[in-house]
């Protein structure tokens, strides 16, 4: 089967391309080759490549920028998935789409997780656009699978780990919020999970985040320990670190459907972070020093 990946230059897009290419014929297109907000471009790409499955890893993921660049965020995260849904449906093609923990309001106690059918209630415009993207796909009637994940990091593209590493290596002190709960999820692990789901021919909404729960501060602390990097790191509250977009205090996702259906490939966040550092420590330091 041939698989067409959109957002092919993003964190998940790049890892997906690398992994799925081992078993399938894969075409991964970056924004320059396939803009998911353009209907004609989508039709052209489907006509040219004739895939048997489309995976949408494209999104406007800068959560704070979505607050000010609302039109663009809506086009990419809300309308784009809808256009993909209608185009795939027309050709009888299934669509696998990625969504986010930020569709939830985070009001649950940090001891609890969100399951797939919990009521949504995004706090940020990013979360709202991603939720509308889910709705538009479901509304198009395409055969679909929507995978909600959280706090993504990987070797390709920008992320929290790279940002804090750069600051630590330049000697800057870091204050990181210690009252937002969730789980950092490795983009490679998401790719492994997607490969499993493709083989299973499942559908509907699934949660796929790393197992376990932590805060951003604890993620940074664990990361620096693993990296053996000295960092001047201290915890702070969300109130002490205001951002343009509101973020949920608890966006823990339970991988309930994956587990119940015997499909989970997800691992504890510490296990995957350790594997990531073992594989990429030198490259991360080199990149952080050069950037």
> Footprint of ligand NAP on this chain (CB under 6 A)?
6-7, 9-13, 31, 34-37, 57-61, 76, 80, 98, 100-101, 130, 149-152, 157, 187
- The distance between the two most distant Cα atoms of the chain, rounded to a whole number of Å, is 55
CB of residue 247 to ligand NAP, shortest distance in Å: 11
Q: Are 129 and 78 in contact (CB under 8 A)?
A: yes
Nearer Cβ to ligand NAP, position 106 or 157?
A: 157
- Which is nearest to 203 in space by CA: 103, 101, 53? 53
CB-based contacts of 113, cutoff 8 Å, min separation 6: 213, 252, 253, 254
Which residue has the CB atom at the shortest distance from ligand NAP?
10
Backbone angles phi, psi at 38, to 5 degrees: -115, 115
Nearer to ligand NAP (CB atom), residue 124 or residue 178: 124
With respect to ligand NAP, which residue has the nearer C-beta, 81 or 227?
Answer: 81
Give the nearest distance from C-beta 145 to ligand NAP in angstroms. Answer: 13
CB of 130 to ligand NAP, least distance (A): 6
> Which of the following is catalytic: 102, 126, 153, 206?
126
Q: How far is the CB of 248 from ligand NAP (least distance, A)?
A: 12
Question: Quick check: is 217 catalytic?
Answer: no
In the complex, what is the shortest distance from the CB of residue 251 to ligand NAP, in angstroms, rounded to a whole number? 9
H or E segment to which residue 4 belongs: strand 2-6
- From the number of C-beta atoms within 10 Å of its C-beta (0-12, 13-18, 19+), residue 32 rates as exposed
- What does the angle CA 148 – CA 79 – CA 207 come to, to the nearest 5 degrees? 5
Using the minimum distance from each CB to ligand NAP, give the nearer residue, 204 or 234: 204
Nearer to ligand NAP, 185 or 228 (CB): 185
Contact 17, 189 (CB under 8 A): no
Residues 67/245, Cβ–Cβ less than 8 Å: yes
> Hey, which residues are catalytic here?
126
């Amino acid at each position: 089967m041939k698989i067409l990946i959109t957002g092919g230059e993003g964190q998940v897009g790049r890892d997906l391309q690398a992994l799925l290419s081992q078993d399938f014929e894969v075409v991964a297109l970056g924004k320059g080759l396939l803009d998911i907000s353009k209907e004609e471009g989508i039709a052209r790409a489907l006509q040219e490549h004739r895939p048997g499955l489309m995976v949408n890893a494209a999104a406007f993921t800068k959560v704070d920028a979505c607050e000010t660049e609302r039109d663009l965020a809506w086009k990419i995260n809300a309308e784009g998935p809808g256009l993909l849904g209608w185009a795939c449906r027309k050709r009888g093609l299934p669509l696998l789409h990625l969504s986010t923990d930020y569709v939830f309001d985070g009001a649950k106690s940090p001891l609890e997780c969100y399951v797939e059918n919990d009521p949504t209630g995004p706090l940020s415009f990013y979360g709202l656009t991603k939720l509308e993207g889910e709705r538009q796909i479901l509304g198009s009637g395409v055969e679909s699978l929507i995978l909600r994940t959280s706090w993504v990091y990987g070797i390709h593209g920008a992320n929290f780990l790279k940002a804090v590493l750069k600051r630590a290596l330049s000697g800057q002190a870091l204050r990181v919020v210690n009252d937002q709960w969730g789980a950092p999820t490795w983009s490679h692990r998401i790719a492994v999970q997607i490969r499993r789901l493709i083989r299973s021919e499942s559908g509907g909404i699934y949660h796929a985040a790393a197992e376990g729960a932590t805060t951003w501060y604890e993620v940074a602390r664990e990361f620096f320990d693993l990296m053996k990097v000295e960092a001047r790191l201290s915890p702070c509250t969300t109130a002490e670190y205001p951002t343009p977009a509101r973020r949920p205090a608890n966006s823990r996702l339970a991988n309930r459907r994956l587990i119940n259906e015997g499909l989970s490939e997800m691992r504890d966040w510490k296990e995957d972070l350790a594997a990531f550092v073992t594989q990429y420590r030198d490259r991360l330091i080199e990149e952080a020093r050069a950037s």
